[in-house]
Chain A
Amino acid sequence: MALAKDYASVMGRNNEIMKKALGLDYEEFESGRLRFDYEELMTSTGYTLEEIQRIQALTGVGNTPILELRNLTALARKYAKPGYGATILAKDEASNPSGSFKARRAACAVAHAKKLGYKGVMAATSGNYGAAVASQAAMQGLKCIIVQECFDSKGIGQPEIIEKARRCEAYGAEVVQLSVGPELFYSFLSILEDTGYFNASLYSPFGIAGVETLGYEIAQQCRARYGKDPAMVVCTSAGGGMVTGTARGLIKAGAKSQCVGASIDLTGLHMASDTQFNLKSCTTGHTGFGVPYAVDPDHSDVPRSAARPLRYLERYVTVTQGDVMYITEALANLEGVERGPAGNTALAAAFALAQELPVDEYIITSETEYTGAGKHLQPQLDFARDNGIEIFFGDPGTEDKPGTNIVLPKSPAYIKTKDMDMDRLRASFIRRACRKRDIMNPCDDDIKFLMEETLASEEFVRGVIAEMNK
């Protein structure tokens, strides 16, 4: 008898479908009431850093160059106090086969799928990850389906996402495009069930292990070239995988660099809103993903996400869409490197953060991404204007209103970061973790787990719980 394919029936079979599609039983890692064994999950698939390096090298992934951005550094120093203005570097991840760091995650996911004998891979993503999975599937000889949220109810698509669809098709993948809404997951599950393909989730342990080589390379390359680790590594944060993997790789290399997360501030725009979908002018790297995935990593397409940014972030900053557009143009115009825009979120932040560091230090942004038709600041700004967004020069720090305007900095001096309140994020994480499992009186082991998950003190965790129970 054919299985019922209505929404409730398919969603009801979620666990069963996922278990088959991941080749991994997450139940094995649950080790307490709140606790699961994160490190065991990360090592469960048996891939060491060396093994990942070998897998990535087979398809030309990784070992990307570091670009020293001399003119952007000189420009940042102009606005820094004397003796300040670290050298700005960029890890040129656009030179990976699919044009972004996501090739690192996809290489491992697809290799794992192949090893387990799956005939095809699927991923739910409107971002660069789709192209990465499609590219790897092409190289490793598996079929590939990418499910994208792409259009609003008027059928108008984000130019950036349409370009990513084109790229997936260029690599031979099937692209299923959907209108706005979280039920994308239903369509994804339903096709996963029909095809028996592997879920090449962004949040699997091998996906995140794939990013560890990035952090590791940053440390090795900086030591070889400059004789020291970068003082700061700035990572664009959306789903949290970049931050998590890079920080883990840096730790494995024994680097003492501070890992800083950066997202575009899109406060006020609802990510599942049909009418607000096309009012944003960057479709990733923003707080609409960055914040929910930081405070509740386990709402993704796997039971336990391997991307857990609050385990690693001591600092998380925001910049504005205008800052990112401006720095993207500056990167092309002053450095002769056309990349982004969304992947330049961390670069906009690094430009401002460099001014906090002494001149003899180094600050590196962990990625660049390819640029192309649709996925470029001109079509994205043009699209914004067509959707009634006002674009003008001013002070993004005080005038930015996501969904209403894009404020281009009136001078590079106005590119600034804003620090997110880490304690607020940590408290939100703790409350969500407790409420999700209905554990309002966590035991000592739960408290310890929450401390590991958020880098918080015992006093802080206990304080949040006491407040919640008031």
Chain B
Amino acid sequence: MAKKGDWVRIHRVVLDAAGRAPGVPEDTAKVPLEMWVKGELKADAQIGDEVEVITATGRTEYGELIEVHPYYTHSYGKFVPELIEIDKQLREELFGGGK
């Protein structure tokens, strides 16, 4: 249950696949144009409900409630062994490695 005033993320289909612009690539033409935006919930709601929010600039947007208290999870990524290899190679090339 999300409360009125909660900061949430909503999702909406802006153009369905049939309404896409002419000339988009075939794969893109098969899928809808979707939008995600965040804002303050205007009334109590459940995940999956059609809701209205007030965005950071004060606009009203509507869409399906998909996340309450949204947060970022992007990171510095998983281990990439090639980076250790590059570092070793650079030290070797420029400073003669461990010599």
Within the assembled complex, what's the spacing in Å between the Cα atoms of A50 and B56?
Answer: 35
Contact present for B28 and A393 (CB under 8 Å): no
Question: Is A78 interfacial (CB 8 A cutoff)?
Answer: yes
Contact present for A180 and B28 (CB under 8 Å): yes
Within the assembled complex, what's the spacing in Å between the Cα atoms of A329 and B84?
Answer: 10
Contact present for A373 and B33 (CB under 8 Å): no
Contact present for B76 and A153 (CB under 8 Å): no
Contact present for B35 and A178 (CB under 8 Å): yes
Within the assembled complex, what's the spacing in Å between the Cα atoms of A380 and B77?
Answer: 7
The one of A7, A162, A275 in contact with B19, judged by C-beta atoms closer than 8 angstroms, is A7
Contact present for A75 and B94 (CB under 8 Å): yes
Contact present for A151 and B72 (CB under 8 Å): no
Residues of A near B93 (CB, < 8 A) are: 75, 78, 411-412
Within the assembled complex, what's the spacing in Å between the Cα atoms of A181 and B29?
Answer: 9
> In angstroms, how far is the closest chain B Cβ from the Cβ of A142?
10
Within the assembled complex, what's the spacing in Å between the Cα atoms of A166 and B75?
Answer: 12
Within the assembled complex, what's the spacing in Å between the Cα atoms of A330 and B24?
Answer: 39
Contact present for A194 and B35 (CB under 8 Å): no
Question: Is B2 interfacial (CB 8 A cutoff)?
Answer: no
Contact present for A194 and B59 (CB under 8 Å): yes
Interface membership of chain B positions 60-83, coded 1 if the CB is closer than 8 angstroms to chain A and 0 otherwise: 000000000000101111111011
Residues of A near B33 (CB, < 8 A) are: 178-179, 181, 183, 187
Residues of B near A140 (CB, < 8 A) are: none
Within the assembled complex, what's the spacing in Å between the Cα atoms of A266 and B31?
Answer: 24
Contact present for A163 and B74 (CB under 8 Å): yes
Within the assembled complex, what's the spacing in Å between the Cα atoms of A391 and B55?
Answer: 41
Question: Is B89 interfacial (CB 8 A cutoff)?
Answer: yes
> How many residues from A make CB contacts under 8 Å with B?
63
Contact present for B27 and A144 (CB under 8 Å): no
Contact present for A379 and B74 (CB under 8 Å): yes
Within the assembled complex, what's the spacing in Å between the Cα atoms of A7 and B33?
Answer: 11
> In angstroms, how far is the closest chain A Cβ from the Cβ of B31?
4
Contact present for A174 and B56 (CB under 8 Å): yes
The one of B72, B75, B78, B87 in contact with A333, judged by C-beta atoms closer than 8 angstroms, is B87
Question: Is A175 interfacial (CB 8 A cutoff)?
Answer: yes
Within the assembled complex, what's the spacing in Å between the Cα atoms of A71 and B24?
Answer: 46
Residues of B near A120 (CB, < 8 A) are: 57
Within the assembled complex, what's the spacing in Å between the Cα atoms of A191 and B14?
Answer: 12
Interface membership of chain B positions 33-49, coded 1 if the CB is closer than 8 angstroms to chain A and 0 otherwise: 11111110000000000
Contact present for B78 and A382 (CB under 8 Å): yes
Within the assembled complex, what's the spacing in Å between the Cα atoms of A204 and B23?
Answer: 27
Residues of B near A326 (CB, < 8 A) are: 86
Q: A377-B83, A411-B89 are in contact. Are A273 and B94 (CB under 8 A)?
A: no
Among residues of A, the one whose C-beta sits closest to the C-beta of B13 is: A179
Question: Is B97 interfacial (CB 8 A cutoff)?
Answer: no
Q: A7-B21, A183-B33 are in contact. Are A159 and B87 (CB under 8 A)?
A: no
Within the assembled complex, what's the spacing in Å between the Cα atoms of A330 and B94?
Answer: 11
Contact present for B76 and A379 (CB under 8 Å): yes
Contact present for A382 and B77 (CB under 8 Å): yes
Within the assembled complex, what's the spacing in Å between the Cα atoms of A413 and B36?
Answer: 45
Contact present for A7 and B24 (CB under 8 Å): no
Residues of B near A374 (CB, < 8 A) are: 74-75
Q: A153-B34, A273-B25, A391-B82 are in contact. Are A373 and B90 (CB under 8 A)?
A: no
Residues of A near B38 (CB, < 8 A) are: 169, 174-175
Contact present for B77 and A274 (CB under 8 Å): no
Contact present for A195 and B90 (CB under 8 Å): no
Contact present for A173 and B82 (CB under 8 Å): no
Interface membership of chain A positions 362-384, coded 1 if the CB is closer than 8 angstroms to chain B and 0 otherwise: 00000000000110111111110
| Top-4 shortest CB links A-B | A379-B77, A382-B77, A374-B74, A153-B31
For the A-B complex with A75-B94, A173-B57, A376-B76 known, give 7 more contacts whose Cβ atoms are closer than 8 Å. Answer: A6-B19, A75-B90, A178-B34, A272-B25, A333-B91, A380-B77, A393-B82
Q: List 21 contacting pairs A-B, 8 Å CB cutoff, sorted by A.
A: A7-B21, A75-B93, A144-B57, A153-B34, A155-B34, A169-B38, A174-B55, A178-B34, A179-B31, A181-B20, A181-B21, A181-B28, A182-B21, A183-B14, A326-B86, A333-B87, A373-B74, A374-B75, A376-B76, A378-B80, A383-B77
A residues with a Cβ closer than 8 A to B are: 6-7, 71, 74-75, 78, 120, 143-145, 150-151, 153, 155, 159, 162-163, 166, 169, 172-183, 186-187, 191, 194-195, 270, 272-276, 326, 329-330, 333-334, 373-374, 376-383, 385, 391, 393, 408, 411-412
